[in-house]
Amino acid sequence: MNKAFKLAYGAMVALAAAAAAMLVGALVMAAIGADVAKTYATILTEPLKDLFGLTEIVVRAIPLSLIALGVAVAFRSGILNIGAEGQMLMGILASSATAIALPELPKPLLLPLALLAGAAGGALWGSLAGLLKARLGVNEILSTVMLNYVAAQFYTFLLRGPMMDPQELLTGTGTPQTVRLPKAAWLDRLVPGTRLHYGLVIALVLAVAVFLLLWRTTLGFRMRAAGAEAKAARYAGVSVERYLVVAMLLSGAFAGLAGAVEVLGVHRRAIEGISGGYGFTGIVVALFGGLHPAGIVPASAFFGLLLLGADMTQRSASVPANMVLVLQGAIILSIVSARQFMNNPYVQDKATRRLAKLFGKAPPLSPAVAEAACPDPSDVAEPCAAGEPGAAGASAGAAPGAGKGGRA
């Protein structure tokens, strides 16, 4: 498959997934008697109606993209990090604590320091799951999910206790939140009158960095190899366990940074509910974006739109904001199904031919697999899938040995 085809294919998968998901969403909406068309229209178009809406989409897209980039790095390295939620919270704590502890530092020092602290907090939390998997073989989905719950409790504990704003104690209101963070730690606003902040720059730079890391460096090569086929990677000398931990450090760092960026750019104090489910939405964004920065950036914008739209429907169409979770779950299910379905070699073959016709190119020669007769199922793990009588008609003519200058 050449590059153009790969892109078209990927887009097809994303669209099919979105359509299936919207269908499921429509079912749930119908169950609560909401106007399906109106709701979708609200979700997808309301936010785009004014500048504020547009900037709010980006405000949400920033932490989403950072988390999704981290998730992509982890998934591609073979470790399924579901702990972004907890890692983000740890990042928020770390960066807030740093800012609160060092208010006299000037901005050029405090801001980067706070951001780094956030990344470090997330990295540390993520590395726990990485080490558990590498050393003790603990399933990372379970450990990261558990760590999410632990982090949430820890966060609440600190915000209600040691880190609570002393003002709250005095006035007796007891809102679990920290003091307003020093101005020197703030990420400045890009567009006055909106909440859009410089975190955008950070996110875009890191998107490029992730691409370079995974596909242009030796470290990325090792990580991708470990994630794609751990056995072969070991045979090639890659220490799979080590890179599992590295991947979780990076992934956690991104989530922690997302938290830091959110607290320093948007809220300027640590409050409850700050993570807003970004940790889980970020995973969906990563999948929807094909685990690639080029897909993640637009996907984050799309999901920023969805999140904002869902908030709006709560007000206007009285559809609860939880609806967004339904859509996300449905999207995950449809993406993984669609991808698997389309990875079926028979379907791929058929799709290749149709798309080739669409683009006006000659249909491709039968794959090199035609070299020998299809391996027999009982000695090979992945036998060729079912065929229809028609499909092989063309390729039987193309004959085994259809390479260039092949022998008969």
> Please, which residue, 358 or 373, has the CB nearer to other proteins?
373
From 49, 107, 149, 208, residue interacting with other proteins (rule: CB under 8 A): 149
List binders of other proteins among 15-34 (CB under 8 A).
24, 28, 31-33
Backbone angles phi, psi at 197, to 5 degrees: -130, 175
Q: Which range touches other proteins (CB under 8 A), out of 92-100, 107-115, 145-153, 257-265?
A: 145-153
CB 75 within 8 A of CB 227: yes
Backbone angles phi, psi at 38, to 5 degrees: -60, -40
* C-alpha 313 chain-centroid distance: 24
CB of 85 to other proteins, least distance (A): 12
CB of 98 to other proteins, least distance (A): 22
Assess 224 for contact with other proteins (CB under 8 A).
Answer: yes
d(CA 297, CA 317): 29
CB of 388 to other proteins, least distance (A): 8
Assess 124 for contact with other proteins (CB under 8 A).
Answer: no
Assess 95 for contact with other proteins (CB under 8 A).
Answer: no
Q: Which range touches other proteins (CB under 8 A), out of 46-54, 267-275, 292-300, 365-373?
A: 365-373
Q: Which range touches other proteins (CB under 8 A), out of 62-70, 117-125, 247-255, 331-339?
A: 331-339
> Please, which residue, 174 or 387, has the CB nearer to other proteins?
387
Assess 4 for contact with other proteins (CB under 8 A).
Answer: no
List binders of other proteins among 155-214 (CB under 8 A).
156-157, 160-161
Torsion region of 276: left, alpha or beta (phi above 0 gives left; psi -120 to 50 gives alpha): left
CB 101 within 8 A of CB 271: no
CB 311 within 8 A of CB 67: no
Assess 60 for contact with other proteins (CB under 8 A).
Answer: no
From 11, 167, 341, 359, residue interacting with other proteins (rule: CB under 8 A): 341
From 142, 169, 205, 208, residue interacting with other proteins (rule: CB under 8 A): 142
d(CA 229, CA 240): 10
Token pair recorded at residue 377: 């199922």
**Closest Cα partner for 128 from 264, 239, 256, 293?**
256
CB of 146 to other proteins, least distance (A): 4
Q: Which range touches other proteins (CB under 8 A), out of 96-104, 115-123, 257-265, 320-328?
A: 320-328
The angle, 0 to 180 degrees and rounded to 10, between the axes of the packed helices 107-136 and 140-160 is: 140
Beta pairing partners, 271: 177
CB of 249 to other proteins, least distance (A): 17
Beta pairing partners, 189: 197
d(CA 345, CA 349): 6
Assess 143 for contact with other proteins (CB under 8 A).
Answer: yes
Token pair recorded at residue 195: 């909440």
CB of 319 to other proteins, least distance (A): 8
d(CA 219, CA 359): 37
d(CA 194, CA 331): 30
Token pair recorded at residue 308: 């904002």
From 322, 354, 359, 361, residue interacting with other proteins (rule: CB under 8 A): 322
Assess 359 for contact with other proteins (CB under 8 A).
Answer: no
CB 259 within 8 A of CB 90: yes
From 232, 315, 354, 361, residue interacting with other proteins (rule: CB under 8 A): 232
**Closest Cα partner for 236 from 246, 224, 222?**
222
> Please, which residue, 82 or 260, has the CB nearer to other proteins?
82
CB of 122 to other proteins, least distance (A): 18
Assess 325 for contact with other proteins (CB under 8 A).
Answer: yes
**Closest Cα partner for 9 from 348, 298, 279, 304?**
348
CB of 182 to other proteins, least distance (A): 27
List binders of other proteins among 371-390 (CB under 8 A).
371-387, 389
Q: Which range touches other proteins (CB under 8 A), out of 59-67, 171-179, 198-206, 278-286?
A: 278-286
The angle, 0 to 180 degrees and rounded to 10, between the axes of the packed helices 218-228 and 51-76 is: 70
> Please, which residue, 27 or 205, has the CB nearer to other proteins?
27
List binders of other proteins among 238-267 (CB under 8 A).
238-239
